[in-house]
């Protein structure tokens, strides 16, 4: 009986901590994040990434990278004020939100992007995006969800990798993006925004 009571107390305590973390995340989102990323992580502006459905671990790591300066951008000043537990709570909050996709307008051009995403380009040495980001573009704890992302945002990030303005820890993304032509970048981004 005592064991059951103790287990119940531990469960209640864990639920209370989880609720407090979620409340803190909602407060941060409503006071800071929603201006650019929307209240549910569905940014209405194509220049800001959609965060809904991203891996909680990936989001918290990106926030850490912005805070430390390993990643550069508008988020540096915002992340500077976040505590590690707040980054984790924000990651969990965004990952719990449902994702949306855009309708692809040019099916032929989108088909080129789909081909490159799933097969790469053997003539230029571009690897298939799906080999890292997954068949559905859902990403992992280490790599972002790119399915349903704003086309314009995807284009800007691929161009930054292409021009080495943005780097990653192991340089894989930069080595792939530098081989992409502007047309391939547009086609892949269009395809991904529609899935």
For 133-171, the pLDDT digits (tens) are 999 999 999 999 999 999 999 999 999 998 888 877 668
Residue 119 lies in domain: 107-193
Same domain? 80 vs 149: no
Same domain? 47 vs 22: yes
Instruction: Write down the pLDDT at residue 20.
Output: 57
Beta-bridge partners for 126: 121
Number of domains present in the structure of the chain = 2
Instruction: Write down the pLDDT at residue 44.
Output: 79
Question: Mean pLDDT throughout 81-85?
Answer: 94
Question: Mean pLDDT throughout 28-45?
Answer: 92
Residues 117/52, Cβ–Cβ less than 8 Å: no
Residues 56/139, Cβ–Cβ less than 8 Å: no
- pLDDT above 90 coverage of the chain, percent: 71
Same domain? 134 vs 175: yes
Residues 41/96, Cβ–Cβ less than 8 Å: no
Answer yes or no: is pLDDT of 5 > 60: no
Instruction: Write down the pLDDT at residue 17.
Output: 45
Answer yes or no: is pLDDT of 70 > 50: yes
Domain boundary among 42, 68, 95: 95
First to last CA, the chain: 51
Top-confidence residue, 9 or 26: 26
Same domain? 51 vs 88: yes
Residues 89/24, Cβ–Cβ less than 8 Å: yes
Instruction: Write down the pLDDT at residue 130.
Output: 96
The tokens for 73 are: 């951008």
**Where residue 167 sits, what CATH number does that domain have?**
1.10.760.10
Instruction: Write down the pLDDT at residue 14.
Output: 43
Residues 61/143, Cβ–Cβ less than 8 Å: no
Same domain? 149 vs 90: no
Question: How far does CA 72 lie from the centroid of its chain?
Answer: 16
Answer yes or no: is pLDDT of 8 > 60: no
Could you count the other beta carbons within 10 Å of the beta carbon of residue 89?
Answer: 25
Same domain? 74 vs 42: yes
Instruction: Write down the pLDDT at residue 12.
Output: 43
Same domain? 8 vs 89: yes
Could you count the other beta carbons within 10 Å of the beta carbon of residue 172?
Answer: 13
Same domain? 40 vs 89: yes
pTM over 0.85: no
Instruction: Write down the pLDDT at residue 167.
Output: 74
CA distances for 174 relative to 22, 65, 78, 154, 161, angstroms: 35, 17, 26, 14, 5
Of 39, 78, 42, nearest in space to 62 by CA = 78
Same domain? 89 vs 12: yes
Question: Mean pLDDT throughout 103-130?
Answer: 93
Instruction: Write down the pLDDT at residue 59.
Output: 96
Same domain? 25 vs 73: yes
Beta-bridge partners for 121: 126
Same domain? 129 vs 179: yes
Domain boundary among 73, 95, 117: 95
């Amino acid at each position: 009986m005592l064991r059951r009571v103790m287990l119940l107390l531990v469960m209640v305590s864990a639920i209370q901590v989880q609720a407090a973390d979620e409340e803190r995340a909602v407060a941060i989102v409503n006071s800071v994040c929603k201006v650019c990323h929307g209240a549910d992580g569905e940014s209405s502006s194509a220049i800001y990434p959609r965060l809904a459905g991203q891996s909680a671990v990936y989001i918290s790591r990106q926030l850490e990278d912005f805070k430390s300066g390993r990643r550069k951008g508008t988020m540096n000043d915002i992340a500077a004020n976040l505590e590690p537990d707040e980054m984790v709570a924000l990651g969990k909050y965004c990952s719990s939100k449902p994702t949306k996709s855009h309708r692809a307008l040019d099916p032929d051009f989108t088909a080129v992007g789909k081909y490159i995403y799933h097969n790469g380009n053997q003539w230029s040495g571009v690897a298939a995006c799906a080999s890292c980001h997954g068949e559905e573009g859902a990403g992992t704890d280490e790599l972002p969800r790119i399915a349903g992302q704003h086309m314009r945002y995807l284009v800007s990030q691929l161009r930054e990798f292409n021009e080495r303005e943005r780097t990653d820890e192991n340089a894989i993304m930069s080595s792939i993006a530098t081989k992409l032509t502007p047309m391939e970048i547009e086609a892949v981004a269009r395809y991904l925004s529609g899935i």
